[in-house]
Chain A
Amino acid sequence: MKKGVFWRVILITLTVVIAAIFFLPNTPLFQGMPDWWKKTMPNKGMVLGLDLQGGLHLVFEVEGDKAVEIATERIASSLPGILERKKIQASVKKDGLLVVVTPANMDIRKVIEDTYPVLTLAEGSGVLKYKLSAEEVQRIKDAATDQVLEIIRNRIDQFGVSEPVIHRQSENEIVVQLPGVKDPKRAVEIIGKTALLEFKLADDESPLAAELPASIMPGEETQLFERFRNRIPEGDEILFQKVINKETGVVTKRPVLLKKETLLTGDLLTEARVNIDERFNEPYVSIRFNPAGAKIFEDITGQNVKKRLAIILDGNVYSTPVIQERISGGDAQITGSFTMDEAKDLAIVLRAGALPAPVKILQNVTVGPSLGRDSIEAGKMAGIVAIILVVVFMIFYYRLSGVIADFALVLNIILLLGAMASLNATLTMPGIAGIILAIGMAVDSNVLMFERMREEIRTGKTPRAAVESGYKKAFWTIFDSHVTTLITAAVLFQFGTGPIKGFAVTLSLGVAINLFTALIGTKTVFDVIQTKKEVKRLSI
């Protein structure tokens, strides 16, 4: 036997066996394997992409500007107290992203700049205008994205999705992939809700409170706001409570005049649970504050007996119970005509905490499970038809050599599937298309070699010499044509999103494996045939 042929046969057999072991988990056969096999051997295989198994792909943008605004607001609201303690008279206002302080003098400047080194002076004549320094703005935005990521992860854990993918894509973008989610709309709501829980007092003493209509239709909010805009007292605001008529199901909005000041927020929660109200058989969410929150809650309730306390989530009033007495212990309830799912979801988001900045959906791709199943079936069908067409054509055109090329083709497919399984690559529909195109391309190298061999035979060479020089001369052509495909695959991988990446992966693996099967696979078969006896005629 020719030198090295034996070892090449061993190498090919070995790679096929290894590929088969890696690919096994993707076949039904894996279930029938003994337990020790399932534990010790590769057991994951290829992963189905969202387009094939169904699921949700979301891209969120964290509105970092809002986080900066909140931070500015916080400084503007605590500054008067700080100045007061130093016995300095001054007025502090927030104007967009600026903190405006009058009068402008050095004493005030010193206090402010010592207390808040993160502020920089934007304007200093007449009035003092401060804004957060560029570094601080960057830090806040960065931290906001990190926190949002963490909180979203928490919420998804509690919602219960297997194998979610959550990662940061850029400075302010977060990608969330939820395979196999049954109710995408609900998932989007849980993830995207800011869930800022606030407690504010209703301002029932203002004459305006009595004048506000009891209810308006949804959509009329701006109109109502325009009508009363000039009469809203300083430090007050109007928010709305959704009211559902239990008999007719009609939704209306009730305007509520509130003191702007937030007395307590959801940060200090330790627990949020769903309970059922026995009287109306209606779910509600009960919350419990930590000791610090409970103390604040006790103070608020103690100081405002007989007033109404509004419970507000993301700017919507949920309920406005009248405070009957001082409440200690830190327990409260949020009611508001919830369905069971709504109450459960609210409890989840309250437990996971509020997002430090609102998020906006940039991209939402949802694939239902049936489309994915159809795609897989169609892909299998197309793959089988492609193999039959190519195999038959090669045998028809190249006879016995065509059979050898077909052997390389089958080898190519097995190794490609094995390689993808060993990398736990994600199989997407474009990825399946890549595999099918690879079936067509797999025989290309053999076509190039066979055509070379035919040329060599025409010049009168013996079959053995024709095979040898055919391989040698076709090598660089094959190599160059493969590299060009690899270059575009690399670009696709760099640029593409999920499904396209899947295509790039199969395309490049297919091309690389093709080099192996064409140059080593078929060559070995020719060599094996020719070691037996001197072939007189090459069937090509």
Chain B
Amino acid sequence: MIELLKGTNIDFMGKRRYAFIVTGILSVLGIIAIVQIALGNANLGVDFAGGTAVQIKFAQSVSLHDVRKALEEGGLKDFDLQDLPTENKILIRVKKQEEKLGGFSEKIIQVLSNKFSDKKPVVDSTTEIGPKVGSKLRKDALWAVLMAIVGLLIYVGWRFQLRFGVGATIATFHDVLAVVGIFYVLDKEMNLIVLSALLAIAGYSLTDTVVVFDRIRENMKRMLKEPIEAVINKSINEVLSRTIITSFTTFLAALALFLFGGEVIHDFALAMLIGLVIGTYSSIFVASPVVVLLGKKR
């Protein structure tokens, strides 16, 4: 029998103060990120911010500098460039709104097709999002995250006790905040695909939390004389290896996606990887301490 962790006896609840510092930093980071998103200072994808994105594939490598020069000579302003050097691809984004969609992408394609005709540019994709759609998607996204969290609160509150529901919800909220915060620090783009990763993380991070809570509930019935901290400590130690292994197998799948899944899904996979680590952390160091904080009775 190979065992990752054998008969551990770590005082998780005793370390909760340190954990609260980590949790606090991650949450504050996430709150700053969300405020920045709301103020429009964060790196929002065109689907949320509105605007135009054009991705072009060249037969040979092109330098970002040349592309920038060509576009500026073509009269384009306020654009971001990003390259995927391994595949000779350039992503051009214009976040400025235009009254009639289509002008920017047409111009970008025209300028680059003329300037780099020797490198056989092919248009991979163009995305044009009007301001109305952008703001609707932003609003929908916010609702989706809230609805998911409320749904989870209700389910866990019903299956366990309310304080467990609150603990699980806070942990889930923490995970989403932390991933948003880390994405903000890394200056990664927030877009619809990353948002769906966030919701997947919210659902999946609860898997770990439920495993821990299940054991706490079971042990509470058996260890009637012990203080609740001891019950929780014992429970976490008992299920520690399975909490880590279940996350680890999913982590392996997400890693494969991150390394080989291609550029479309790259940031999604990154969010999943970060979220899986944080989700495991939070089920031990966020969800359970909150349960303790909310009352010592059984």
Measuring CB to CB, which residues of chain A are less than 8 angstroms from any residue of chain B?
Answer: 51, 59, 61, 184-185, 188, 360-368, 370-371, 374-375, 377-379, 381-383, 385-386, 389-390, 393-394, 396-397, 399, 429-430, 432-434, 436-437, 439-441, 443-444, 447-448, 451, 454-455, 476-477, 480-481, 483-492, 494-497, 499-500, 503-504, 507, 540
> What are 10 sample pairs from A and B whose C-beta atoms fall under 8 A apart?
A51-B264, A360-B101, A361-B130, A366-B123, A367-B125, A382-B265, A386-B256, A389-B253, A495-B144, A495-B147
What's the nearest-Cβ distance from chain B to residue A177, in Å? 14
Report Cα–Cα, A383/B256, bound state, in Å: 7
What's the nearest-Cβ distance from chain B to residue A109, in Å? 40
Asked whether, in the complex, the Cβ of B261 is within 8 Å of the Cβ of A433, the reply is yes
Tell me whether A491 and B144 are in contact in the complex, defined as CB-CB below 8 angstroms, given that A364-B101, A496-B196 are known contacts. yes
Asked whether, in the complex, the Cβ of B143 is within 8 Å of the Cβ of A495, the reply is yes
Asked whether, in the complex, the Cβ of B193 is within 8 Å of the Cβ of A451, the reply is no
What's the nearest-Cβ distance from chain A to residue B8, in Å? 14
Report Cα–Cα, A389/B264, bound state, in Å: 22
Asked whether, in the complex, the Cβ of B200 is within 8 Å of the Cβ of A432, the reply is no
Closest to B87 in A: A374
Asked whether, in the complex, the Cβ of B256 is within 8 Å of the Cβ of A477, the reply is no
Asked whether, in the complex, the Cβ of A375 is within 8 Å of the Cβ of B155, the reply is no
Residues of A within 8 A of B124 (CB): 367-368, 370-371
Asked whether, in the complex, the Cβ of A363 is within 8 Å of the Cβ of B130, the reply is yes
What's the nearest-Cβ distance from chain A to residue B142, in Å? 10
Q: For window 88-132 of chain B, which residues contact chain A by CB distance below 8 Å?
A: 100-102, 106, 122-130, 132
Closest to A51 in B: B264
B29 an interface residue at 8 Å Cβ cutoff? no
Asked whether, in the complex, the Cβ of A436 is within 8 Å of the Cβ of B246, the reply is no
Q: For window 236-251 of chain B, which residues contact chain A by CB distance below 8 Å?
A: 238-239, 241-242, 245-246, 248-251
Residues of B within 8 A of A491 (CB): 144, 147-148, 151, 199
In-complex Cβ contact of A440 among B101, B144, B254, B260 (8 A): B254
Residues of B within 8 A of A381 (CB): 260-261
B206 an interface residue at 8 Å Cβ cutoff? yes
Report Cα–Cα, A444/B242, bound state, in Å: 9
Report Cα–Cα, A481/B147, bound state, in Å: 18
Asked whether, in the complex, the Cβ of A451 is within 8 Å of the Cβ of B242, the reply is yes
From B31-39, B72-80, B207-215, give the one contacting chain A: B207-215
What's the nearest-Cβ distance from chain B to residue A171, in Å? 13
Residues of A within 8 A of B144 (CB): 491-492, 494-495
Report Cα–Cα, A45/B265, bound state, in Å: 24
- Give chain B's interface secondary structure class: helix
Closest to A507 in B: B200
Measuring CB to CB, which residues of chain B are less than 8 angstroms from any residue of chain A?
Answer: 1-2, 4, 55, 57, 87, 100-102, 106, 122-130, 132-133, 137, 140-141, 143-144, 147-148, 151-152, 155-156, 159, 192-193, 195-196, 199-200, 202-204, 206-207, 210-211, 214, 238-239, 241-242, 245-246, 248-257, 259-262, 264-265, 268-269, 272
Asked whether, in the complex, the Cβ of B211 is within 8 Å of the Cβ of A363, the reply is no
Residues of A within 8 A of B202 (CB): 488
Asked whether, in the complex, the Cβ of A499 is within 8 Å of the Cβ of B261, the reply is no
Report Cα–Cα, A378/B192, bound state, in Å: 20
Asked whether, in the complex, the Cβ of A447 is within 8 Å of the Cβ of B207, the reply is no
In-complex Cβ contact of B122 among A368, A389, A429, A483 (8 A): A368
Asked whether, in the complex, the Cβ of B102 is within 8 Å of the Cβ of A188, the reply is yes
Asked whether, in the complex, the Cβ of B141 is within 8 Å of the Cβ of A361, the reply is no
Tell me whether A483 and B130 are in contact in the complex, defined as CB-CB below 8 angstroms, given that A378-B261, A379-B261, A433-B261 are known contacts. no
Report Cα–Cα, A366/B249, bound state, in Å: 35
Report Cα–Cα, A540/B242, bound state, in Å: 14
Asked whether, in the complex, the Cβ of B249 is within 8 Å of the Cβ of A440, the reply is yes
In-complex Cβ contact of A389 among B137, B206, B238, B256 (8 A): B256
Residues of B within 8 A of A188 (CB): 102
- Please give 18 more A-B residue pairs, beta carbons under 8 A apart, in addition to A361-B102, A487-B155: A360-B101, A361-B128, A362-B129, A362-B133, A364-B128, A370-B57, A375-B264, A382-B257, A437-B254, A444-B250, A447-B249, A448-B242, A451-B239, A477-B210, A480-B159, A485-B204, A487-B203, A489-B203
In-complex Cβ contact of A393 among B125, B252, B265, B272 (8 A): B252
Residues of A within 8 A of B268 (CB): 430, 433
Residues of B within 8 A of A455 (CB): 238
Closest to A487 in B: B151
In-complex Cβ contact of B1 among A364, A439, A540 (8 A): A540
Asked whether, in the complex, the Cβ of A366 is within 8 Å of the Cβ of B207, the reply is no
Asked whether, in the complex, the Cβ of A386 is within 8 Å of the Cβ of B257, the reply is yes
